[in-house]
């Protein structure tokens, strides 16, 4: 398969305000290797989040729903991705990264697949597994992908989205997560890759779980997170406010929250309030 690169078609609502500090370690080195001329630009030092997984696992849907406000039902009409689709997310000074949506059939052994270039500048690799399908093939692919990426760049955060869980009962969700977790880690142990840490999330585009999972993935890439958490702790202790989130309004992912546990209902309520405010400001704007 020939890997081609598609320029980001950035939603007009996004503007470049800032990027991750260079000291974070995602600049420079990869720029020489990347065939994309845009990478020569200093703004390209923002970290990369890769979306990988088998065909039809839901990668493009996740990217469109979270970052382009596509309604979940519209994703039924998405066409299969056949080249790497790069999307710039630069909506505030704390969230600035690129998402690379990969085609499901990417072939690591193809000479045009430059794993050095792709994985070197990567902050997080999200591997999407369709929980409504038989996931054995996906687990094999997960192992191949992460072991290859780890060899090139052991600093990548490996995130596994056990996706489309909207069709599963609560018991089935927990059982699937346990099973995927167990098998994926057994495969790593067999390959003597015990040091490689995987994080698992149950996700669906039909509820807020995908926004929550993406929030956590992005938070891990924010070097200022402890400071932000601290500031929010101080804020709630002095204001009598119960819970504080720092939101990226455009995507509704939260960049930080105070250290009390996150209750999904509170998070959903805040997301709904953001929608109301955006709708009202569109009417009166
Ligand atoms: N039930 C359910 N369906 C989903 C979910 N996410 C995506 N889908 C559906 O899964 C199908 C495939 O989604 P895509 O986003 O095109 O999958 P992809 O992984 O990008 O596929 P390729 O481009 O072929 O690699 C679509 O019909 C989506 O509507 C989800 O959370 N729940």
The residue ranges of every structural domain in the chain are 48-221, 225-284
Residue 59 Cα to ligand 1 midpoint, Å, equals 6
ipTM tops the 0.85 cut: yes
48-221 CATH: 3.40.50.300
Ligand 1 pocket residue status of 78, Cβ below 6 Å: yes
Ligand 1 pocket residue status of 208, Cβ below 6 Å: no
H helix runs in 224-263, sequence order = 225-239
pLDDT per residue, tens digit, the chain (285 aa), is 444 444 343 333 333 223 333 333 333 333 333 444 444 443 456 789 999 999 999 999 999 999 888 999 999 999 888 888 898 887 666 678 899 999 887 777 677 778 888 898 899 999 999 999 999 999 999 999 999 999 999 999 999 999 999 989 999 999 999 999 999 999 999 999 988 999 999 999 999 999 999 999 999 998 889 999 999 999 999 998 999 999 988 888 999 999 999 998 999 999 999 989 888 988 887
Q: What pLDDT was estimated at residue 11?
A: 35
Q: What pLDDT was estimated at residue 94?
A: 65
Residue 75 Cα to ligand 1 midpoint, Å, equals 7
3-class SS of residue 217: helix
Exposure string over 182-221, b if 16+ CB within 10 A, otherwise e: ebbbebbeeeebeebebbbbbbbbeebbbbbbbbebbbeb
Partner residues linked to 245 by β-bridges: 257
Residue 77 Cα to ligand 1 midpoint, Å, equals 9
Q: 231: Cβ–Cβ under 8 A, 6 or more apart, which residues?
A: none
Protein residue with least CA distance to atom 21, ligand 1: 56
Residue 128 Cα to ligand 1 midpoint, Å, equals 10
CA 196 to chain centre: 18
- Spatial strand order of the sheet with 122-130 comes to 5-6, 84-89, 97-101, 48-53, 122-130, 157-163, 198-202
> Which CATH architecture fits 225-284?
2-Layer Sandwich (3.30)
Main-chain dihedrals φ then ψ at residue 149, nearest 5 degrees: -65, -40
Q: What pLDDT was estimated at residue 209?
A: 93
Q: Are 215 and 254 in contact (CB under 8 A)?
A: yes
Protein residue with least CA distance to atom 14, ligand 1: 58
Q: What pLDDT was estimated at residue 281?
A: 86
Q: What pLDDT was estimated at residue 99?
A: 93
Q: Which of 161, 17, 36 has the alpha carbon at shortest distance from 89? A: 17
């Amino acid at each position: 398969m020939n890997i081609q690169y598609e320029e980001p078609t950035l939603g007009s609502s996004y503007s470049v305000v800032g990027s991750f500090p260079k000291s974070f370690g995602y600049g420079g080195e990869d720029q020489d290797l990347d065939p994309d001329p845009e990478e020569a630009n200093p703004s390209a030092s923002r970290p990369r989040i890769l979306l990988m997984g088998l065909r039809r696992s839901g990668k493009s849907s996740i990217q469109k729903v979270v970052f382009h406000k596509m309604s979940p039902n519209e994703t039924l009409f998405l066409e299969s991705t056949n080249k790497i689709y790069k999307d710039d997310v630069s909506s505030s000074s704390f969230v600035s990264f690129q998402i690379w949506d990969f085609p499901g059939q990417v072939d690591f052994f193809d000479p045009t697949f430059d794993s050095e270039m792709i994985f070197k500048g990567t902050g997080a690799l999200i591997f999407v597994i369709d929980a409504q399908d038989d996931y054995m093939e996906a687990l094999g692919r997960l192992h191949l992908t992460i072991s290859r990426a780890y060899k090139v760049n052991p600093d990548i955060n490996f995130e596994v989205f056990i996706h489309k869980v909207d069709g599963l009962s609560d018991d089935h969700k927990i059982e699937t997560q346990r099973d995927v977790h167990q098998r994926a880690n057994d495969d790593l142990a067999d390959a003597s890759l015990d040091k490689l840490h995987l994080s698992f999330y149950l996700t669906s585009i039909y509820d807020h779980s995908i926004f929550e999972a993406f929030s956590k993935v992005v938070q891990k890439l924010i070097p200022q997170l402890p400071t932000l958490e601290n500031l929010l702790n101080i804020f709630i202790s002095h204001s009598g406010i119960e819970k504080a989130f720092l939101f990226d309004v455009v995507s509704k992912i939260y960049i930080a929250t105070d250290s009390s546990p996150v209750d999904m209902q509170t998070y959903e309520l805040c997301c709904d309030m953001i929608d109301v405010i955006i709708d009202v400001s569109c009417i009166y704007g």
